[in-house]
Amino acid sequence: MSENKINRDIINDEINFDTNKSKAELVYEIRQWKMLLKENYNVRKGETIAIGILDVNHLHLTSIIACAELGLKIFLIDAPATKESLPYTKLALHGPVDYLIHNAFKGDELYGGLHGKMIREYSKELIDAQELKLKIPTGMDYISEVSEDDIFLISSTSGSTKPSRKVEFTHKEVYAIAQRNIDVFKLKPDTKILHSKNMHHVSAMLCTLLPALMVVKKHRSFTMAEFTEWQVKGLNLIDFNHVMIPNEKMLGWFIEFFDKNGGLQKGTILVMCGFTMTQKHIDMCKEYNIEFISHYGSVDTAIPLLVNYISGDSEFTPDSLGVPPDDFYDIDVSSSHVSVNNSMWTERRNMDDILEIVDGQYILKGRIETIHLDDLIKSCPEPINLSLFDYDTKINMEQLRGHIKNVKKRLDNT
């Protein structure tokens, strides 16, 4: 068996995951998933599947590994912002998927029922995780004929500057990225990691979840929701020192909560992405004795391309995205573009940001804008609640454009 694949072998032998699950217990659950998928649904290698278990619990993890071992292509979904934008979600644009695993079907409780509508409409077959309880696996130890060159992950670009494009990752690519990110994100066997974002946040999948599985022993999960008020009950009881914080608003709530409840562990690492760090973040490091790892890249070029390591001793550099943490990517920066290459690719890939190198730091100078947000909002004949389209550090432009298009169409027909 090749080492360059995602399967149960990547899981740390001493892992303690979520509700104190050992590797043996996780492997048992992986075998249950494989039996369920093969016997009840007759899944075939190369078919597409989405994971609708939104919390990063043991079911989330084991379903991913089971799908990988069966040679299924895992499709990363997003959340529908409005009924008008639903046909412009990733699942609608780049799906449908052959199967979607959901957890006791909570879809109708999410996003005003739009999540349930989306997965029903753009999935050929729904699989309830509750069915897993009925499976006592026999066999399923054999890892199927999956090649390192087979597609493992299907994602897509955000549509910020041009229409969303499907992006596929092979097992070999995902394995290499995850292995590389162990060091980039300072993950060690004694790290105590808190998984706060599910695999549909591609940075969470490739920068924390998979790398941490490979090396970290202690894993806990606490989903930080995007569109609902953050519920922090019990979070202070969780022992961790490494967590991804998805955006600035969440960071504010997070710091405020722990400031009132005994503080964070010394040296806790907060992983963030998508924007430049400021003097405020350096001051936070000094005050709370923490560190930031801020990373920058894009789903179709590099995850991550640049990293900014921030501590209380850091010097503030305006608009700095940091530096390349290694030579994994070949970066070419000119006055008009940024292109990136990697030994696993057949050609160079371009980014939509404009960067400049100053004293070794990569400085963000702007974006190659083809869509102006203010003009787009003004073009809508109805008021827009822009917060519905927030996606961590950016606006989901694909859904926003689709929302406006369908609002206009609806009004034209009335």
Q: Is 135 contained in some domain?
A: no
Going by C-alpha positions, the residue among 317, 388, 413 that lies closest to residue 88 is: 388
State phi, psi for 396 to the nearest 5 degrees.
-75, 90
Contacts of 269 (CB under 8 A, 6+ apart): 185, 186, 241, 242, 243, 290, 291, 292, 293
Q: Is residue 346 situated within a structural domain?
A: no
- Residue 49: inside a domain, yes or no? no
Kindly state whether residue 250 falls inside one of the protein's structural domains.
no
Task: Tell whether 395 is covered by a domain.
Answer: yes
Other Cβ atoms less than 10 A from the Cβ of 251: the count is 17
pLDDT of residue 107: 56
249, part of any domain:
no
In a domain, 384, yes or no: yes
Say if 404 falls within a structural domain.
yes
By the 10 Å C-beta count (0-12 exposed, 13-18 middle, 19+ buried), 292 is classed as buried
pTM (2 d.p.): 0.92
Q: What is the pLDDT of residue 188?
A: 98
Distance from C-alpha of 309 to C-alpha of 324, rounded to nearest angstrom = 11
Per-residue pLDDT in tens (0 to 9) along the chain, 414 residues: 347 999 999 999 999 999 899 999 999 999 999 999 999 999 999 999 999 998 899 999 999 999 999 999 999 999 899 999 999 999 999 999 999 999 855 556 677 789 899 999 999 999 999 999 888 888 767 667 899 999 999 998 777 667 788 999 999 999 999 999 999 999 999 999 999 888 888 888 999 999 999 999 999 988 876 534 445 555 655 689 999 998 888 888 888 888 887 788 899 999 998 778 899 999 999 999 999 999 998 888 888 999 999 999 999 999 999 999 999 999 999 877 889 999 999 899 988 888 999 999 999 987 766 567 888 888 999 999 988 888 766 788 899 999 999 999 999 887
Residues 362 and 355: their CA atoms lie apart, in Å, by: 6
Q: Which helix (H) or strand (E) holds 305?
A: strand 302-310
Which helix or strand (DSSP H or E) is residue 330 part of?
strand 330-333
Output the CA torsion sign for 191, 196, 198, 199.
negative
And the tokens for 77? 């979904």
- Residue ranges making up the domain that contains 378: 373-412
pLDDT of 370 reads 57
Q: How many domains does the chain have?
A: 1
| pLDDT value at residue 404 | 94
